[in-house]
Amino acid sequence: MNRKDKVSKIHYTKPSITDLEISYATDAAANGWGERCYEYITKFENKFLEHLNAKYAIATSSCTGAMHMGLSALGIGPGDEVIIGDTNWIASAVPAVYLGAKPVFVDVLSDTWCINPAKIEAAITSNTKAIIAVHLYGNLCDMKALLAIGQKYGIPVIEDAAEAIGSEWYGKRAGSMGIFGTFSFHGTKTLTTGEGGMFVTQDDLLYEKVLNLSNHGRIREQSKQFWPDVVGYKYKMSNIQAAIGCAQMERIEELIARKRQVFNCYAEHFRNLPIKMNPEPPETLNGYWMPTIVIDEEVPFDREVLLATFKKNNIDGRVFFWPLSILPMFKERRENLVSYDLYKRAVNLPSYFDLTEEEIGKVAKVIRSTLNSAGGYI
C-alpha cells in the first residue's frame, strides 16, 4: 500500500492519542516502578469513579476479565444459567462458560437491539443466577424494566457497558446501575488504554471479593507475603496502560462529544432514507460508540454488496454482530426472530475522533448509491 492509500483510507475506528497520552505513558515507563508501580492505576480508577459516580472501581486487563471476576464473585458456577441478549459479541457470554454456567440467549428489541425485557421472564428458571444487560453500540437497555425483573425474582442484573461510555439512563451513567458494571478500553473504544477494562460496583462485599480475585486471591488484610487465601485470577491493568487512561479521562468529555458529532453528521445525511440508526429515547443520552444503520425490511438489501463496495472505495466495513446462538459452540435459537434478522440488514459505520465531514460524506454517498442500485432510493 502506498502513502496515498494510507492517507485516504477510512478506518472503521481508531483511537485519539495526543501528546498528553504520550507524556503520561512515557513518565510511567521511565518512573512508574517500585513505590510508584500502582500510581497511575490508582489515579485512573479514581478519575473513572468520579466520571461514573460509582463507589468502587478496579482496573483490569480487559472487560472480559472484569466480567469473569464479577460472575465468579457472585458464586456463579456449574449448572447455573445466565440470561443475555442473543445479539452480542461473544466476550459478554463466555465468562459464564468459563465458570461452567450456561448462557441462555433471548431475543432483542428491534429498535434498541438490546435484550428484550418481555423475553426474560419466560426464560427464568430455578437455575437462573444473573441477567446481563449489554448496552449495544452505545444503545441503552431498558434498565427500569430489567431492574424491576431482577428485584421481582431476586436475580442480580449486571451491566456490560463495554460499548457505552458516555451513555446515560435518566441521569445515571451506563454501568453504574446494576450489581456491577464492566467497561472495555480496547483500542477501538471511545476511551482507550490499548487493551484494558474496568470493574465497577456500589456493593462493599462484592468489591472486596473481586479485589481479592484480581490479585491471585490475596486478601488485603493478610500479613503474610505471597500468601493467597483463595484461588484467584491475574486480570490486572499495567501502570503504563493506566497512564494512557488518565490522559484519556482528562479528555473524556471531548471524546464523547466527538462521537456524538460524528453520529449526528451521519444522521443528517440519511434523513429521508429507508434507514434506522442508533436510538436515543427521552431522558437518555447515547454515547454513540458505533453509528449503525439498519436498512428497512422492504429494501432488497445485501450487506455483503455494501461491504464489498466499501472495500472498493477504501472504506473499512464492519458487520453487525451475529446472533450468538448461531455460532458453532452454542445451540441455535431461531425463535429469536429479531436477532436472526437484524444482522442481515445492518452495518456499523466508521467513527473516530479525526474522521472528517468530507469522509463521512463519502461513506454516506457509497451507502446512498448502493441503496439506489438495490431499490431506486435516492
Q: Which H or E run contains 146?
A: helix 143-153
User: In sequence order, what are the residues at sequence separation of 6 or more whose Cβ sits closer than 8 angstroms to the Cβ of residue 199?
Assistant: 57, 58, 60, 66, 69, 70, 180, 181, 182, 210, 214
Do the beta carbons of residue 185 and residue 191 sit within 8 Å? yes
Do the beta carbons of residue 128 and residue 81 sit within 8 Å? yes
Q: Which of 278, 281, 279 is nearest to 290 (CA)?
A: 278
In which residue are the cell numbers 513505590 written?
Answer: 35
CATH T-level fold of 252-375? Aspartate Aminotransferase, domain 1 (3.90.1150)
Do the beta carbons of residue 99 and residue 77 sit within 8 Å? yes
Domains of the chain, residue spans:
19-250, 252-375
| Three-state DSSP state, 347 | strand
Model pTM score = 0.95
Helix axes 39-52, 19-31, angle to 10 degrees: 140
**pLDDT score at 373:** 86
Do the beta carbons of residue 127 and residue 105 sit within 8 Å? no
Do the beta carbons of residue 364 and residue 277 sit within 8 Å? no
**Chain centroid to CA 30:** 32
pLDDT tens column, 122-152: 999 999 999 999 999 999 999 999 999 999 9
Letter string b/e over residues 107-137, b meaning 16 or more CB atoms within 10 A of that residue's CB: bbbeebbbbbbebbeeebeeebbbbbbbbbb
**Sequence-separated contacts (24+) of 310-314 with Cβ below 8 Å:** 310/363, 310/366, 313/362, 313/366, 314/5, 314/8, 314/9, 314/10
Among left, alpha and beta (phi > 0; psi -120 to 50; other), residue 170 is: left
User: In sequence order, what are the residues at sequence separation of 6 or more whose Cβ sits closer than 8 angstroms to the Cβ of residue 211?
Assistant: 58, 220
Measured CA to CA, the distance from residue 250 to residue 252 in angstroms comes to: 6
**pLDDT score at 133:** 98
Measured CA to CA, the distance from residue 33 to residue 27 in angstroms comes to: 10
pLDDT tens column, 68-107: 999 999 999 999 999 999 999 999 999 999 999 999 999 9
Percentage, residues of the chain above pLDDT 90: 94
Question: Which residue spans within the chain are E strands per DSSP?
Answer: 56-60, 81-85, 102-106, 128-134, 157-160, 168-169, 172-173, 180-184, 197-201, 275-277, 284-285, 292-295, 318-319, 346-348
pLDDT tens column, 324-347: 999 999 999 999 999 999 999 999
pLDDT tens column, 181-228: 999 999 999 999 999 999 999 999 999 999 999 999 998 888 999 999
**pLDDT score at 378:** 53
Q: Which H or E run contains 328?
A: none
**pLDDT score at 4:** 45
pLDDT above 90: residue 3: no
Asked if the domains 19-250 and 252-375 are classified in one and the same CATH topology, the answer is no
User: In sequence order, what are the residues at sequence separation of 6 or more whose Cβ sits closer than 8 angstroms to the Cβ of residue 43?
Assistant: 242, 246
* Domain at 19-250: CATH architecture: 3-Layer(aba) Sandwich (3.40)
